[in-house]
Amino acid sequence: MSSLEDFQKLNPEYKILSIDDPDFKKYGKVYTNYDISEVTDYMDKNVKISSPANFYTPTNKGLEAIPVIQEMGRDIYAYMPIEAGECTGQSTNFSAIEYHQGSETNIMLTDVIMVLGQRSTLDTKGSYSPADDGQTFFVPAGTVVEFYSSTLHYAPIKVHDSGFSIIVMLIKGSNEELPADFKSTNKRIVKQNKFQLVDPSRKDKIAIGVQVGLTGKLIEMKPLDK
C-alpha cells in the first residue's frame, strides 16, 4: 500500500486526490526536468524540521546559491529576481488561505497534503470554505510544482508524524514585512505580496490584524506514524 493509500485510509472523511488527477491542472504545473539532489543534500545537512511550531523564512542565501534554484528562477520567472527559503513544521490542519501576485514554486522534501482553491471563488463569494470550496491533494516528496497566482494555498499538512519540509520560491521581496508607513484599503494584505485570510480559530493571527475570511469545518487530518 502506498503512502497516499495509507493516509487516505487514516483520514476517510476527506477526498484526497493525487497530483496526477486532471483537477490538479487548474492549480499548478508539475516539473520533472530538474535535478534537486543538491537541494535535498543541503536541507539534510543544514535544516531540521521545526517543532512544535511551523517555521518559514522567505530567503535562505545558501539555498539561493544552488545552481538549480537559479535555473528554476530563469525558467519559471523569466529572469525576475527570486527568493528561496524553507518552510518546515508540524501542521495537521488548514487554518488560512493566501495568494500572491506571481506564481509560487515549491520543492517538496517530504510527502505533504496541499489544500488548494481558486481566487475567483473567494472574490465572488467574499469568503471561503476550504472544506467545501477547495480540493485536497497528496504531493509526494521530490515533487517540484509551480502554483499559479490564482491558486489559494497555505502551509502544507504533514503526512508523516515527523513533520513536513518544503522549499518556497517567489518573486524577491514577497512575504517580507511591509514598511511602517504602508497604507492600503485592501484588508487582505498582511506582508509584501502576501494576501491572507484566516479561520476564526487563528486567534494569534487575528490579534495582529489578519482578517477572518474562512468559513465551514476546519480541515484536520491525522498523520502516519512512520
Q: At 100, which CATH number?
A: 2.60.120.10
Residue at 56 is within a domain: yes
**Which of 34-38, 42-46, 118-122, 222-226 is predicted with the least confidence, judged by mean pLDDT?**
222-226
Give the whole-angstrom CA distance, residue 220 versus residue 34: 33
Query: What's residue 91's pLDDT?
Result: 98
State phi, psi for 113 to the nearest 5 degrees: -110, 125
Global confidence as pTM: 0.96
pLDDT digits (tens, 9 = 90+) for 58-76: 999 999 999 999 999 999 9
Q: At what angle do helices 37-46 and 67-77 cross, to 10 degrees?
A: 120
The residue whose grid cell reads 522549499 is: 167
- Number of structural domains, the chain? 1
SS3 6: helix
pLDDT value, residue 169: 98
Q: What's the domain range around 139?
A: 3-176
Contact (CB, 8 A) for 66 and 38: yes
- Residue 183 counted as domain residue: no
Determine the straight-line distance between the first and last CA of the chain, rounded to whole angstroms.
14
In a domain, 92, yes or no: yes
For residue 18, what pLDDT band results from cuts at 50, 70 and 90? Answer: very high
Q: Which residues are CB-neighbours of 174 under 8 A, at least 6 positions away?
A: 58, 83, 100, 102, 191, 192, 193, 194
